[in-house]
Every structure is written in C-alpha cells, then in structure tokens.
Chains A and B, each alone.
Chain A
Amino acid sequence: MKHLLSIQDLSAGQINTVLKTADSFREVGTRTIKKVPTLRGRTVCNLFFEPSTRTRISFELAAKRLSADVVNFTGDAKSSLSKGESFKDTAQTLQAMGIDAIVVRHASAGAPQRLSGWVEASVINAGDGAHEHPTQALLDLYSIREHFPSFDGLRVGIVGDIVHSRVARSNARALRTMGAEVVLIAPPTFLPPAVDTWGVSVSYDLEAVLPSLDVVYLLRVQRERQNEQLVPSLREYATFWGLDLRRVNRMRPEAVIMHPGPMNRGVEIAAEVADLDRAIITDQVTNGVAVRMSLLYLMLGGLNSDRDRAREAPARRATDPAQLAFEQAMAEVEPALG
C-alpha cells in the first residue's frame, strides 16, 4: 500500500496487520533506548497546514523511534487557502527534496488525496478537514482491542459533533470494517446529511443508549461552532449529551470511555469522568505512537529494507530482538498485506 488517504484504503486483514505489528512496537516504547534502526536513511516530512501539536509529535516520535530523519513543515492554512497554488508548490518542493513519506494535516478535505497525485512520496493523511483521520481510527481500534477479545458484535457509541468530525467518519468506517456495531449519538443538528447511508444506527438520546454500549467515544465539541447555532448553548449540550458520573453509572461495568483529545472538560466530558480508570484516553495517546510506527514501517517498505538489511548485515539483525520480533510478526501477516 502506497498511501493512507482514507481508512477505506484498508481491508480488515490489513487493519489487523497494522495492529499486530504495532504490538511489537509498543514494546519498544517501554525500553530505555526507545529506538530501532528500521527506517534509517529514510526521510519523513510532517506537513501541517493546521496546528495540531499532539498529532504532529506522535508522528514525529514514531518516525524517530524507527530512526527515520524527520522534517517538520508548518504551513499557514489561511494563506494556503487564499492562494491555493502554494499547496502544489510546497508539494513539488518536497518532491524535489527526495522526501520518502509526507504526513499531511490540512483544513481542506481531500488535500492528502490531491497531494498524492503530485508527489512520488507516500502520503499519510493526518486529518483533512471534516473528511478523515485514519491513523486516529487505527490507534482507537488498537486501544479497544486491548480491552475486548473481538470487534465482532461490539457496540460502540460515538457521541457529539459528528457532522464536522473526521474522527467520527474514520472511526465509524473502521469499526464497521472490523465487524463492530456503531451508534451515533447527537442532537440532530450535529448529525451529517444522509446519515442513513453510513450503515450505522442513530440516537438523539445518550441516556437511553448508554446501557447498551461497550465503548463510549466522546468527540470534542468545538466552541467556535457556537456561532452556527447548532445547539442553543454548550451548557445545554452538556446537560443532554455530556458524560457525567451519574451517566457513567448507567454504563456496563466493562464498558470503556474514549476521547480523541483535546478534551473540553465540563462540556462533552465531566472532569471527574476523564480521570476514571475506565477512561482510556491516555492509553490512546500511548498507542498512537506504536500504531504510527507500525504504519510507517509497513508503508515505507520497511519490509523490503529489512530484507535488504538482513542480507547486508545479518549480525546486527541477530542482535536486535525488536527487529526479530517484527520479522516474526511480518512473516505471519505478510500474506494479508495488499
């Protein structure tokens, strides 16, 4: 697979491959020296036209732990949108510099797809407008998988501003691909048009649905959406769709709470709920690095370069247990790779 533009680019088998491979990389993050030589000599560019410190750092750490060189390019979304040619110019500049992979975040839906048509490098979508955020979906699946034996029949409620949420789009698709059931829970103004075509169920009533959910996935409510009059007030939103302790008590005992961050404490999630053990929000962050390592490894031909390296320097390979672990994992899952 050359690019990751949408979670739809991945089959269930490929998603499993990414998650399995991430298991080995998670272990790397617990070591004193959190680094493997897998992508030595490769260059990854984080091209962020929209500020997102946490996603950028997660990708940067992932690339660095694989020994890739990382360059960060922070574009100005406003100037890019006002004179669009600069986006293609930037792409061609990166192309000329021999970048191997571009991790792109952009306020405009479809920007990664446009970019992939202009460069030789692999393009990874790190969030494009309200379209998709596929790596977020992968890390969320990884985090869910740590708590439940299977996605089959799992019931996941996604709560909040679905219409503007790339996280909701990617997660709903990924979860359905893996066999889980998705319920979107929001006021009607937060639901996308033609939501009946999403293959999910819909509820306006969080309280009624809560007892049936295995995962309660809360979305950030953008304060700037207030101007659009989608809900009368944030307070009213919190009253009906916010997760507080009283509502947590209606949840199944084994159900977990997730959030892509950053959180609006007191709006979609009460402060004390965010601190509960069953809120696995920090695990999501930790897993983000491992899952992104897994992706970069699989996409940047880590597979091939490992084989090449094995031929060139078998000694180093033998002494690196992490490397051995990946290769074992890869041997198992390689047939599933597209």
Chain B
Amino acid sequence: MANAILVRGGRLVDPASGTDRTADILVRDGRIEAVGAGLAAGEAEVVEADGAVVSPGFVDLHVHLREPGREDEETIASGSAAAARGGFTAICAMPNTEPACDSAAVAEKVAASGRFLGLTRVVPAGALTHAREGTQLAAIGEMARSVARVRLFTDDGRGVQDTRLLRRAMEYLTGFGGICAEHCDDEALSEGGQMHEGEVSSRLGLRGMPAEAEDLALARDIALARLTGCRFHALHVSTAGSVALVRAAKAEGLAVTAEVTPHHLTLTHEELASFDPVFKVNPPLRSLADVAACRAGLADGTLDAIATDHAPHAAHEKEAEFEAAPPGLIGMETALGVVLALVRDGVLSLPALVERLSTGPARVLGLEGQGGPIVAGAPAHLVVFDPEARWVVDPSRFASRSRNCPWAGQELTGKVLATIFEGRLVVSNGELLEGVGATW
C-alpha cells in the first residue's frame, strides 16, 4: 500500500475550518500534507472523489462491541470493520460487556485490540459503577489514568438509579476530568416497559415506557451536574422533554452535551405495530412530536452529535416474541444513508450534518486529531461519500456480525465510498480493503 494518497476533486466539507469548497487532499505518512486545487499525484494512490463529499472521518460516541463476552454478536474486529465501512474513524465502545469494562485491564484490552486492528480508533468508555450494578463506584481513577485514558464513564444499558451514588460518581469524576454519561431512565416509572407509552402501546397492549421516565432522569442528572460541576453527556436523547432540558442547561452555561441516534431521528413508535422486535430499542422509538423535537434540537445545535447506539444481537434472540427479544439495533453501516434524509428534508445543511457526525462528537469526547480540521499537518482521518448514491440495505453483506437492522431491504440514499484512517485507505469503493485489519 502506498504511503501517500491523493483524494482528488471532492467537495471538501470541513466544519472545523468552516470549509466547503472543491479541493484535492494529499495525505502522506498518516498526515495531511497539502490541501488545494490541482495537487500532483506523483506516486500517491488516487481516490477519485469527483461528485463526492470529502469530510473529516465520522466519530460515533456510542457503540456496543460485545467483546469481551458476546463475540458471537460482535467483536472489536467486526465492529471496527463495520465502523470503517460506515465512515467512522473513531468509535466509543460502551462498557456493558461481560465482564463489564469497569477496570483498567478491560479498558486497555479494548483499546489495544482496536489499535492492533488499525481500522478505526476504538475508545473504551468505562463503567460508572462496579459491574454496572449501580451499587458502588467502579475503578474510575484507575481507568482514567490507564494507558487507555478512559474519559467517558457510563453504565449504559441502564442509568444509575441511586441519586446519591451518581452524585458521588460525578464529584469523583471531576478530579480526573472525566465525563459522566447517562442512559437516562427512571426505572421506577419505566420498569417492564416494552415500547414508548402512548397511543400505539395503548392499542397494542404492550406496557409502555413514558417519555417522562427519560425526562425525569435527565432533569435529575442535569441538577447533579450543576451541583458537582461535572461534565455531563446525555446518551441517546429521544424525547421532546429531553431536548428542552438540554437546551435550557446549555443556555445556563452548564457543561452538558447530548447525542441522538439515526433511528430516533427517523422512526416512530408506529413501527411497533408489526410487533417486529427489530424495532425494539431502548430508549424506545417515540412519537412523531418527539422525532420533530429531536430534529429541531439537532439542527439548532442543542444536540451535539449523532451517535448510532449500534447494538448487535444474535438472530435467534431477535426472532422471538416481542417481549422476550432484547432491545437494540445495529446502525454503523447505515448511519450516513439514514441521516442524509435530514438534509433532503431541509432540517439542516450538509455541512451541519457533517458537523454532527464528526466535529461535534469529537469535541464532546475531546478526541485530538478527529473531526477535522482538514489542514496541512493534521492527522489524516477522512471519509469520502456520495450523498446521492442509492443502495439497497442488505445486512447479509455487513461487516457487523449481527443482522438486527430495521432498514433491511430498504433503499437508502448516500453511501460511504472511502475511509482513510491514520493516513491509510481502509475502505475503498465502499468495501473494506483486503489485508487491512486482522483476520477473524
């Protein structure tokens, strides 16, 4: 593989430098060497980007890689490959593995595996509490000071229910510059819920999770962030109430950030009428009004990032009765195609969308070199995508080990053509390059 790449003739959209123009990008030895018109290829491998968009590699703040523990569903290798195919050059791996990522040992293993594979940067998130049990603090300092340099801490999959313990966690985290991230859910209100509580749950006879269970937990968490001064990140915001709370917290000047998933931006609880567990997620698909609020929140910058909450599950587990199926869907390989609909719907501009996919999430996590800017001397993490390419989603061709994708069989518009990670081409013509990463 050549150690130089010329990305030629693309529309360069770089939110970090406020750039939106046609330009060539020359990459050499892991870094961007030059950005400009008519750059000479020399011995560099050429990626033709005419008619395509070139932007900083996407950053996914929220993925589940299942390793260690459920390697039948996903591994760091297969998840990294899925990320690369989705245009992500960094992903944050949630700690709900078996064992949970609540120690330096697990965090370092996850980070090292990602580094060894070299397909995308894998940033481990640490658990807030020991074994994610919500009863005692995890080894937060040990993880933060480990080689993995864990900065985001969460019990995702669940929220910390004990308010006093969460306060302690936030206070402790501030000493290590950590970010407290929460799956906002007041379980006293949502317990046993299978879907969003509302008109559809009422009709289907499925127990609902009221939007207020998310709102209340988030309101509590924001209050604690105010009390402790801890940086707080709201995972997968899904309700109109949550968007309003984050907006108010930001207006107040609190260090609060938030993310939203592609599915909460595009699907509603009406999908559940099919009783198909592929639509079963947590937080659940909400009402049209919630979707509209999430879209508005993304557009005005209240929500900083689009994160997939990529949650792989084995086929047999999803091929069950609705109530028996685990929640979650996979999303890294479809994210771009799904959220480009927001640009077509006039919700936000293409540069703004790119910002929420790359620069915004990189800033939330403080990831140096990710999310742009695309300037000479910067690390080369790039994605090239065709926003007009139509393709039919075929999960059997995914790099992910799991197939729980609600867009299966649907046509999406917008496809990743190439991904450059650390100056190396890892995805070309939409496919993972042979010989990159490890064999698995």
Contacts and interface: CB of A to CB of B under 8 A. Distances in A.
A111 interface: yes
B87 to A, nearest CB: 33
A113 B274 contact: yes
A132 interface: yes
Contacts of B322: 108-111, 114
Contact of A113 (B194, B205, B275, B323): B275
A1 to B, nearest CB: 19
B324 A110 contact: no
B284 interface: no
A103 B204 CA distance: 19
Nearest to B200: A194
Contacts of A88: 316, 319-320
A197 interface: yes
Interface in A103-155: 106-111, 113-114, 128-132
Nearest to A197: B199
Interface string A183-199: 00000000011110110
Interface stretch (A55-63, A78-86, A93-101, A242-250): A78-86
Nearest to A81: B324
B16 to A, nearest CB: 44
B37 to A, nearest CB: 55
B162 interface: no
B205 A131 contact: yes
A129 B194 CA distance: 12
Contacts of B324: 80-82, 84, 87, 108
A166 interface: yes
A109 B323 contact: yes
Interface residues on A, range: 20 to 34
A85 B208 contact: no
B317 A114 contact: no
Contacts of B194: 109
A169 interface: yes
B96 interface: no
A193 B198 contact: yes
A82 B275 CA distance: 18
B316 A85 contact: yes
Contact of A85 (B203, B276, B317, B323): B317
Interface in B303-342: 316-317, 319-325
A81 B277 CA distance: 14
Contacts of A128: 205
B290 interface: no
A108 B323 contact: yes
A108 to B, nearest CB: 4
B319 A84 contact: yes
Contacts of A164: 205
A129 B319 contact: no
A10 to B, nearest CB: 16
B268 interface: no
B400 interface: no
B202 interface: yes
Contacts of B206: 109-110, 129-131
A80 B321 contact: yes
B198 A84 contact: no
A199 to B, nearest CB: 11
Which of B194, B202, B207, B319 neighbours the largest number of chain A CB atoms within 10 Å of its CB?
A: B202
A272 to B, nearest CB: 33
B320 A87 contact: yes
A84 B204 contact: no
Contacts of B276: 114
Contacts of A166: 205
Contacts of A110: 204, 206, 275, 321-322
Contacts of B203: 169, 197-198
Nearest to A91: B319
A107 B208 CA distance: 16
B201 interface: yes
Which of A84, A113, A195 neighbours the largest number of chain B CB atoms within 10 Å of its CB?
A: A84
B200 to A, nearest CB: 8
B197 interface: yes
Contacts of A82: 324
A195 B320 contact: no
Contacts of A169: 203, 205
A194 B324 CA distance: 25
B275 A109 contact: yes
A108 B195 CA distance: 13
Which of B194, B205, B322 neighbours the largest number of chain A CB atoms within 10 Å of its CB?
A: B205
Contacts of A114: 275-276, 320-322
A193 B321 contact: no
Contacts of A109: 194, 204-206, 275, 322-323
Contact of A111 (B199, B201, B210, B321): B321
Contacts of A195: 202
B202 A84 contact: no
A198 B202 contact: yes
A26 to B, nearest CB: 30
A234 B295 CA distance: 46
Given A81-B323, A87-B321, A110-B275, A129 B198 contact: no
A106 B322 CA distance: 11
Which of B275, B319, B321, B325 neighbours the largest number of chain A CB atoms within 10 Å of its CB?
A: B321
Nearest to A111: B321
A81 B325 CA distance: 9
A164 B198 CA distance: 15
A69 B204 CA distance: 32
Nearest to B326: A84
Contacts of A85: 316-317, 319-320
Contacts of A81: 321, 323-324
12 contacts: A81-B324, A88-B316, A109-B204, A113-B274, A114-B322, A129-B206, A129-B323, A130-B205, A132-B205, A193-B202, A195-B202, A198-B202
Given A88-B319, A131-B204, A131-B206, 13 more contacts: A81-B321, A87-B324, A106-B321, A107-B323, A108-B322, A108-B323, A109-B194, A110-B206, A130-B207, A169-B203, A193-B198, A193-B210, A194-B201
4 smallest beta-carbon distances between A and B, as pairs: A84-B320, A110-B275, A130-B205, A84-B324
Interface of A: 80-82, 84-85, 87-88, 106-111, 113-114, 128-132, 164, 166, 169, 192-195, 197-198
Interface of B: 194, 197-199, 201-208, 210, 274-276, 316-317, 319-325
